[in-house]
Amino acid sequence: MSSLSDPRRGPTRRAVLGALAAVGALGACGNPIGSDGAERLDARVDAARDFLRSNYPGLEPLFRNAHGILYIPVVTEAGLVLGGSYGEGALRINDATVDFYSATRASVGLQVGAQQYAHALFFMTEQALADFRRSDGWAASADMRYAIPSGGGSMGAETTTQFAPVIAVVFGQSGLIAGASLAGVRYRRIVP
Question: For 107-125, what is each residue's pLDDT tens digit?
Answer: 776 556 788 889 999 999 9
Domain count, the chain: 1
The boundaries of the domain holding residue 114 are 5-190
Residues of the chain above pLDDT 90, percent: 42
Choice among 40-44, 93-97, 132-136, 174-178 with the minimum mean pLDDT? 174-178
Using CA atoms, how far apart are residues 108 and 104, in angstroms rounded to an integer? 14
Q: Identify the pLDDT of residue 148.
A: 66
Instruction: Find the angle CA(109)-CA(111)-CA(116) to the nearest 5 degrees.
Output: 125
Number of Cβ atoms within 10 Å of the Cβ of 153 = 8
- Average pLDDT of the segment spanning 86-96: 97
| Model pLDDT for residues 75-89, shown as the tens digit of each residue | 988 877 677 889 999
d(CA 86, CA 82): 14
Q: What is the pLDDT of residues 116-168, one digit of tens each?
A: 889 999 999 999 999 999 998 898 876 678 886 553 344 555 544 556 899 99
